[in-house]
């Protein structure tokens, strides 16, 4: 059955509408794609510009920091003692001839041979003021003690817990006069150092006279040695 002219006309109109709808939809989709791509391009450009700005800011900050450090070093070099002025930097004070480690031996009746170890240091910032650390051990043996009085126990106690004191004092004329600030330990006889007097006695030697709280004290020659 052949379509009538009216039907053919309707078919053509419907086809035109379908084609037109497809073209319009395609145009809209294409426009949206173009807009999306444009937005992506703009966003990429913005991110690139931001990254470049951050890199420039970091480079500028680093350059300023390096310049500031260089200027500070230059200022410090100018302010340093003796810099470009020909004047020498002040030297630290020379250590006192009394400062050092001293050792000596003496014989004491009833206590045998006694060995004194003394470490003497300068007090920082105080001229002719000293701090001393003394330690003395007696062997409690030999003719001065007597055969019946010899005691290995006393010797062991003296070695492990010697007569030890922390002293301080000053230079009085030619002698260093030290007094005990703290008793660290007493020997097996209960002896502890209360004071110590040091006088130069030849090259590298000191004449030492020590007094004790409950014992007789004594004197000896100290020689300077290594720690």
Q: 111 and 157, same structural domain?
A: yes
Residues 6+ apart with CB under 8 A from 127: 93
CATH of the domain at 178: 2.40.128.120
Q: 150 and 104, same structural domain?
A: yes
Torsion angle of C-alpha atoms 187, 212, 102, 178, degrees rounded to 10? 140
**pTM of this structure:** 0.56
Q: 111 and 61, same structural domain?
A: no
Q: 117 and 220, same structural domain?
A: yes
Domain count, the chain: 2
Neighbour tally for 108: CB within 10 Å: 20
Q: What is the pLDDT along the chain (227 residues), one digit of tens a residue?
A: 677 878 778 878 888 888 888 888 888 888 888 888 888 888 888 888 888 888 888 888 888 888 888 888 888 777 665 544 555 666 666 678 899 999 999 999 888 899 999 999 999 888 889 999 999 998 887 787 766 555 677 777 878 888 999 999 999 988 999 999 999 988 888 889 999 999 999 888 999 999 998 898 999 999 998 65
Torsion angle of C-alpha atoms 147, 148, 153, 156, degrees rounded to 10? -20
The upper half-sphere exposure of residue 113, i.e. CA atoms within 13 Å in the direction of its Cβ, equals 5
Residues 6+ apart with CB under 8 A from 170: 128, 129, 130, 176, 177
pLDDT at 181: 94
Q: 120 and 76, same structural domain?
A: no
Of 68, 91, 114, the one marking the end of a domain is: 91
Nearest to 157 by CA among 182, 138, 144, 143: 138
Q: 87 and 11, same structural domain?
A: yes
Residues 6+ apart with CB under 8 A from 82: 88, 89
Q: 135 and 33, same structural domain?
A: no
Q: What is the CA radius of gyration of the chain?
A: 49
Q: 112 and 20, same structural domain?
A: no
Q: 145 and 200, same structural domain?
A: yes
Q: 57 and 124, same structural domain?
A: no
Positions of E strands within the chain: 100-108, 112-122, 129-138, 163-172, 175-185, 193-200, 205-212, 218-225
pLDDT at 225: 81
Structural domain harbouring 123? 100-225
Q: 86 and 108, same structural domain?
A: no
Do 181 and 167 contact (CB within 8 A), yes or no? yes
Of 65, 91, 117, the one marking the end of a domain is: 91
d(CA 167, CA 125): 18
Of 91, 121, 145, the one marking the end of a domain is: 91
Q: 125 and 67, same structural domain?
A: no
């Amino acid at each position: 059955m052949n379509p009538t002219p009216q039907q053919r006309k309707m078919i053509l109109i419907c086809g035109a509408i379908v084609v037109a709808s497809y073209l319009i939809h395609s145009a809209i989709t294409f426009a949206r794609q173009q807009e999306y791509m444009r937005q992506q391009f703009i966003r990429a450009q913005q991110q690139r510009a931001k990254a470049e700005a951050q890199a420039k800011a970091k480079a500028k900050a680093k350059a300023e920091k390096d310049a500031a450090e260089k200027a500070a070093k230059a200022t410090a070099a100018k302010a340093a003692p003796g810099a470009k002025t020909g004047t020498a930097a002040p030297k630290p004070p020379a250590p006192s001839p009394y400062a050092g480690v001293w050792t000596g031996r003496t014989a004491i009746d009833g206590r045998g041979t006694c060995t004194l170890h003394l470490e003497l240091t300068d007090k920082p910032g105080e001229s002719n003021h000293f701090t001393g650390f003394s330690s003395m051990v007696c062997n409690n043996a030999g003719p001065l003690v007597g055969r019946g009085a010899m005691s290995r126990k006393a010797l062991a106690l003296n070695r492990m817990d010697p007569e030890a004191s922390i002293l301080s004092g000053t230079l009085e004329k030619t002698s260093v006069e030290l007094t005990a600030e703290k008793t660290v330990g007493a020997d097996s006889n209960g002896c502890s150092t209360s004071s110590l007097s040091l006088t130069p006695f030849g090259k590298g030697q000191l004449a030492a006279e020590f007094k004790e709280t409950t014992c007789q004290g004594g004197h000896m020659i100290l020689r300077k040695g290594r720690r």
